[in-house]
Amino acid sequence: MPTSTIDDKDAAAIQAARVGVAICDRTAWGRIKVAGDDRFNFLHNQSTNNFQILKPGQGCDTVFVTSTARTIDLATAYVREDAVILLVSPNRRQYLMEWLDKYIFYADKVELSDITEYTNTFSLIGPGSDAVLEKLGIGELIGQPYGSHKVYTIAPAEGVRIAVGSGLAAPGYTFTFPNTDKETVWNKLLEAGAVEMSDRAWDALRILQGRPAPDAELTDDYNPLEVGLWQTISFTKGCYIGQETIARLNTYKGVKQHLFGIRLSAPAAVGSAIAVGDEKVGKLTSYTETADGYFGLGYIRTKAGGVGLKVKVGETEGEVIEIPFVSHDYP
């Protein structure tokens, strides 16, 4: 997964996501339903964001971390009247079901269910996404805050929940709906002007934009502040798993490495050391080849520098650049 090579069709889809609109089938991603009267307190205590302030129709990104604040997954949560739906990475679906279940105690009113096989998820990506919604006659979501969502009918498909946010650092919307309506919704979105994007092109675009992925940027080696996922963390909500470590890193400005993009002069292998001169300062975690050249993601020690830094990745020359999905600024 952390290495991606695209073809001409993928390049066209990535370009559409930049200047028009693309559609990606994210049905392989996991969808976990968290129900029960204690669902907000439960999720509040198990992840980094503040669930107690959310109302039905709202949503947020949140990170599940270990007790030592190491990253497990970046998830998007959608608050419904009766439950919270978590959109999680494909390779973290089963793990998170088991991990969350072990924290449900006898008196807790929390029910977990994996609804992945009964549902589909598509994402519209790009500045042309608003025009697609307008063509479908559901423009009221345009301009609403990230994570806002509502149920619509895309005739004849009913029960299509549309949320603000593409899952990447680009404008867009995410659609979740019963699996029986997959072909209908897909064709309607294509007819409205969306360009089909493959999983391979999605992965290349997420590398270009800096969205971290499990087993690449999200591992036991890194915490959410090193990743740069500040927007997913509440520093005022009180105790949760991993909170003490994250709070200390923030208070004492103790983040020792950051995730950056690296523009490369030639191909490079994931896992290669990133060096400045003879000194190793980090590691390449993801790599892709695109129509614009070679590009990677990697962690670099804070003291080594940041944007503009000239590095060597294995035997390849590179330059550190900004990536829009993450931030390196303390709040």
Q: pTM of the full predicted structure?
A: 0.96
316, 321, 327, 331: CA torsion to nearest 10: 110
290: tokens are 């695109």
Rg, C-alpha atoms of the chain: 20
- Location of structure tokens 């993450």: 326
Q: How far is residue 130's CA from residue 139's CA, in Å, rounded to a whole number? A: 7
| Pairing, β 22-25 against β 195-197 | parallel
Comparing CA positions, the residue from 95, 131, 136, 133 lying closest to residue 112 is 95
- In whole angstroms, what is the distance from residue 120 CA to residue 127 CA? 23
Residues whose CB falls within 8 Å of the CB of residue 324, separated by 6 or more in sequence, listed in order: 169, 209, 210
Distance in angstroms (rounded) separating the CA atoms of residues 263 and 294: 6
* Contact by Cβ (8 Å): 79, 59: yes
In the chain, what are the domains? Answer: 22-205 (3.30.1360.120), 207-321 (2.40.30.160)
**Per-residue pLDDT in tens (0 to 9) along the chain, 331 residues:** 466 677 899 999 999 999 999 999 999 999 999 999 999 999 999 999 999 999 999 999 999 999 999 999 999 999 999 999 999 999 999 999 999 999 999 999 999 999 999 999 999 999 999 999 999 999 999 999 999 999 999 999 999 999 999 999 999 999 999 999 999 999 999 999 999 999 999 999 999 999 999 999 999 999 999 999 999 999 998 889 999 999 999 998 999 999 999 999 999 999 999 999 999 999 999 999 988 899 999 999 999 999 999 999 999 999 999 999 999 988 7
Is-cis flag, bond preceding 156, omega within 30?
yes
Q: Which of 13, 59, 8 minimizes the C-alpha distance to 176?
A: 59
